Structure 1
Amino acid sequence: MSRASRAFLAISAVGTISTVAAVHLSQAWDRQRLHEGTLRDLERLERKENDRRQGEGGHSSFWPEEAERRPADCVPR
């Protein structure tokens, strides 16, 4: 094997390994950010439920003034 071909092989290997490592790290960071978003959503829903139970945070239904007169088939689940 000539010196040039060895250098090319080494540079190709380093480039390939670098690319694979970068993609792996990027996926790990994306997965972590997605998980943090899920935790934030759960916390937000918990705060919203607590506000609803305590009567804080505005109206607790889709029909603020008409909550008592909602049709039975339109009750949120």
Structure 2
Amino acid sequence: MSAASKVVLGASLLLAAGTVAGVHAQQRRLRQRLHEGVVRDLERQNRKKENLRLLEEQIALTKQLEMERKKMRLAKGSQQ
């Protein structure tokens, strides 16, 4: 085998190995991004559930406050 063919073979082996390593690294980054997307979705769902819970709590408190105000108005009206 001539020196030139050895150089070409070595260069093509290095290029092939570099290509394989690059593809694996790209796939690893893609998998990581996909996983981060799932984690963000779960966090967003948890925040949405918490916001709904807070909204329901706020609605209940508002109804309670309105009832207390109504009672106070009735009591004030009956005193006069």
- Do Structure 1 and Structure 2 share a fold, with TM-score over 0.5? yes
What amino acid sits opposite 1:7 in the alignment? V
Alpha-carbon shift at residue 55 of structure 1 (Å): 0.2
Calculate the aligned-residue CA RMSD, in Å. 1.0
Alpha-carbon shift at residue 35 of structure 1 (Å): 0.2
Residue aligning to 2:48: 48
The answer for unaligned runs of 5 or more in structure 1 is: 57-77
> Larger relative CO (CA 8 A, sep 6+): 1 or 2?
1
4+ residue segments displaced more than 2 Å: none
Q: TM-score, normalization: structure 1?
A: 0.71
Identical columns (%): 50
| Equivalent-residue separation in structure 2 for 1:3 and 1:31 (angstroms) | 42
In the TM superposition, 1:27-38 aligns within 5 A as 27-38=27-38
What amino acid sits opposite 2:11 in the alignment? I
Question: Which structure has the bigger radius of gyration?
Answer: 2
| Equivalent-residue separation in structure 2 for 1:19 and 1:49 (angstroms) | 45
| Equivalent-residue separation in structure 2 for 1:39 and 1:3 (angstroms) | 54
Count of paired positions: 56
SS at match of 1:55: helix
The answer for unaligned runs of 5 or more in structure 2 is: 57-80
Q: TM-score, normalization: structure 2?
A: 0.68
